[in-house]
Chain A
Amino acid sequence: MHLHKYEKWWLIFGVGALITFLIVLGFGAFYIGTHPQSHGITIDPENIEAEEAFKPENLGLTKVDEGQYVLNVVATAFNYDLGKDEDGNPVKHIQIPKGSTVLIQATTPDVVHGFNIAGTNANMMIEPGYISSMEVTLNTSGEFTLLCNEYCGVGHHMMYATVEVTE
C-alpha cells in the first residue's frame, strides 16, 4: 500500500506525539503515583455500619494529626451524611485548614452517587457495594461546594454540603 511522503511525515509526527503523551501519562501514573481512585474494597450496602468508619459517630471530619484529617461520608438519596454537631444538627459545613491532607472515605447504602468538591480534583464515583477513597491536599483557600455529580434521582441537584478551606 502506498503512503504519500507527506502523509508518512504527518503520521510519524502524530504517532511520535502520541507515544510522548502516553509516556507522560505512564510516568505520572506509575512513577509519581497519580492514579484515579481504585481500591476495590467492598462493603455490604445493606450493612455499611459493619465498617467502623461508617458508624454514625465516626462520620464527618476527624483530625488525626497536625494537618491530617479523615473525612467519612455516607451518601444517600439525596443527602451527604457528615455526622452531627454538638447540638445534634446535621453537619453541612466543614472547615479544613489550608494545606492539610484529607483522606476521604465514602460509601452509599442505596444508589450510585458522585462526590465532587467542585473545582478541585476530589472527584469520584460512589457505588453501592464499594468504598470510594482518595487522599487530597487542599492548597487553595475559599468556600467550595461538595456536590453530587452523578444522577441519583429527582432530588439529585439538592445533594450538597460546603467545604471551607481556611487560611
Chain B
Amino acid sequence: MAVEKLINCQQDSRLPLTVTKSDSKLYMTFITFAFISLFIGGFMGLLQVLVRSGHFTLPAGIDYYQVLTVHGVILGLVLTTYFIVGFQYALMGKTVGISDTQRRVGWIGFWVMTIGTILAAITVLYGKASVLYTFYAPLQAHPAFYIGLALVIVGSWIACFVNWRQLYVWKQKHPGEKSPLLAFMVVINMIMWFIATLGVAATVLLQFIPWSLGYTATIDVLLSRTLFWYFGHPLVYFWLLPAYMAWYAIIPKIIGGKIFSDSLARLAFVLFLFFSIPVGLHHQLTEPGLDTTWKFIQTVLTFMVVIPSLMTAFSMFATFEITGSKKGYGGLFGWLKHLPWKDVRFLAPFVGMLAFIPGGAGGLINASYQLNSVIHNTIWVTGHFHLTVATTVILTFFGITYWLVPHLTGRKLTKSMNRLGIIQTIFWAVGMTIMSGAMHIQGLLGGPRRSAYSEYNGSEQVAEWGAYQMAQAIGGSILFIAIILILYIFIQLTFFAPKGKEEFPIAEEEENAEPTPMWLEKWKVWVSITVILILFAYTIPIVVVIQHAPPGSPPFAWPIGNN
C-alpha cells in the first residue's frame, strides 16, 4: 500500500514536473537549431572583422554585405528566436506542464519557422537578398525572402499560442492560485512578442510582399521603417527578458539562495511589457519625416525602462548579499566571497550582468535625443548591441545551456566541461571587451557601421580608424575561438557526457515571504494598458506619415546585386 501523503505530493503539479523524452526532443530541436545558427553566424562575423582589418578579401567574389546579411539575420533573428522558444517551452513544461496536443502544435510552429528560415536563407545564399536584417525599402530582395520572414514570425506566434494555452490550462486546474513565476514571465514575454511582431508582420505582408511581387508599383518607405522599428525595439527586450527569467528565478537557486521578491519580479516584467513597445521612434531620431514632438515623447517613454532595470539590478545584488550573509559571510563585501565563481552556470550569466552596466549606459546615450546625432549609425551602435545582446543575453543563454542541455539529454555537466565553460566565458569576455571597446571608440571618432573595408578619401581621419578595425579583428578572432569552445561543449553535453541527472534549478521563495498580491495576475488590465500606451505613442505619428506621404518608391534591386 502506498503512502497517501506521497501520492498527494507526487500529484502536486506545483512541484517541478518531469520532462518526458518526447518533450525534451522538442526543446532540444529548437536549441540545437540555435547552436547551428551560432556557428554559421559567428563564422560570418569572423569574416567581417577580417575583411575590415584591410588584410583579407573574400574569395570567389562573395560580397561583404551578403555575409553581413547572413550574420544579422541568423544571429539576430534565428538564433535568438529558436533558443528563446526552446528555453521557454522547457520553462513552461517544467512549471505548468505540456500536453500531447500542445507539443504537437509546438512542432507545427517549429516547422513553419524552419521552412521560413530555409526559404529566406536560399535567397540570401543566391545573392538575391543582401538587404541586411533590417531590409529597408526601397532596396528590394527576392519575394521569397519576405515570405520566409513572414513564416518565421507566424511560426513564433504558434509558440505564443501554445505557451498561453499551457498557463490557461494550469490556471483552470489551480483556481485561485498565483501562476508559477517562470510561467508568468514567459507569458508576459510572449504577449510582448505577439503585439510587437504585428508591426513587422503588417509591413511585410501588406507592403513588402505585394510590392516585391509586382502587385503594387511603389512602397511608402517611411511607413515601412516606422512599422519595422515599432517591432525593432521590443525585439531587443524579447531577447533580454529570457535572460532576466534566469537571473530572477534560476540564478538564486544556483547560488544556494531564494528568490528576493516574487512580486517585485512580476512587477518588473509588467513594466517591461508596458515600456518596450511605444518607443520605436528613438531608432528614427535622425529621420526627416517624423515630428520632433513625437520623437521626444517616445524618448521619454523609452527611458521608463530604467525603472524595471533598476529593480532588476537591486534584486540581483540583494539576492547575492542576503544569500552570503545567511551563509555567515559578513562585512560590506564579504558576500562576494560566497558566490560560486567556479560554477559556470553562475559565472557566465554573472559576466553577462556586468556587461549590462556599460551596455545599459550606452543605451541611455543612444536614446537621449540630442546625443543620438553623435553616434547614430556609427559603429558605436554595433559595439553597443554586441555588449547587450551578444554578451549579456548570449552569456546568460550559455549559462542556461550548461544545465538545460544535460537535463534534457539525461547527462551530467562534468567537472572538465565546467572548467572548459569557464575558459569559454573568459575568452568571450576578453574578446568582446576588445572588439566592442574598439567599436565604441571608432564610433565616437565617426567610423560608420554596416560598411565594408574602405579607405574613403584616404584622409588622416580615416587612417586613424585602422587601428581600431585591427583591434576588432583580434577581438573577433578570440570570440570565434570561444564559439568553437561552446559548440564543442554543446556537442559533448548533447551526445557524449556521462549519463546522469542534471538539476533543473528553479529557485523558491523564502518560507516567510510575503504573499504575492493577486492583482499582479490581471492580464486583461496589463494588455489594455500596453495597447493604450501604444495607441497614444503611435496613432498620430502613423496617421501623419500616411496622410503626408510623398509619392511612393519603386523597387531598387540593382544596388544589392539582385538583378
**Chain A residues packing against B (C-beta within 8 Å):** 1-4, 6-7, 10-11, 14-15, 18, 21-22, 25-26, 28-30, 34-46, 77-78, 92-93, 110-112, 114, 116-121, 123-133, 142-145, 147-158, 160-162
Interface residues of B in 348-399 (CB under 8 A from A): 364, 368-370, 372-374, 376-378
A18 adjacent to B556 (CB under 8 Å): no
Chain A residues, Cβ within 8 Å of B552? 129
Chain B residues, Cβ within 8 Å of A25? 296, 299, 368-370
Number of interface residues of B (CB under 8 A): 76
Which 6 A-B pairs have CB atoms at the shortest separation, nearest pair first?
Answer: A153-B559, A118-B446, A129-B550, A119-B446, A42-B550, A157-B454
B291 adjacent to A38 (CB under 8 Å): yes
B374 adjacent to A121 (CB under 8 Å): yes
With A21-B364, A40-B288 given, name 15 new contacts (CB 8 A).
A6-B314, A7-B264, A11-B307, A22-B300, A29-B369, A34-B370, A36-B285, A36-B372, A37-B286, A116-B448, A125-B377, A130-B550, A132-B288, A145-B459, A147-B451
A162 adjacent to B556 (CB under 8 Å): no
B288 adjacent to A38 (CB under 8 Å): yes
Q: Which of A21, A111, A132, A158 contacts B138 (CB 8 A)?
A: A111
Chain A residues, Cβ within 8 Å of B303? 18, 21-22
B422-464 interface code vs A (CB 8 A; 1 in, 0 out): 0000000000000000000000011111111110110111100
User: With contacts defined as CB atoms under 8 Å apart, how many contacts are there between chain A and chain B in the complex?
Assistant: 239
**Chain B residues packing against A (C-beta within 8 Å):** 63, 65, 130, 132, 136-139, 221-222, 225, 261, 263-264, 267, 284-292, 295-296, 299-300, 303, 306-307, 310-311, 314, 318, 364, 368-370, 372-374, 376-378, 445-454, 456-457, 459-462, 514, 517, 544, 548-554, 556, 558-561
A118 adjacent to B376 (CB under 8 Å): no
A40 to B311, CA, bound (A): 39
Q: Which of B132, B456, B461 contacts A119 (CB 8 A)?
A: B461
Chain A residues, Cβ within 8 Å of B368? 21, 25
A112 adjacent to B318 (CB under 8 Å): no
A129 adjacent to B451 (CB under 8 Å): no
Chain B residues, Cβ within 8 Å of A129? 221-222, 289, 549-553
A43 adjacent to B550 (CB under 8 Å): yes
Output the least CB separation between B457 and chain A (Å).
5
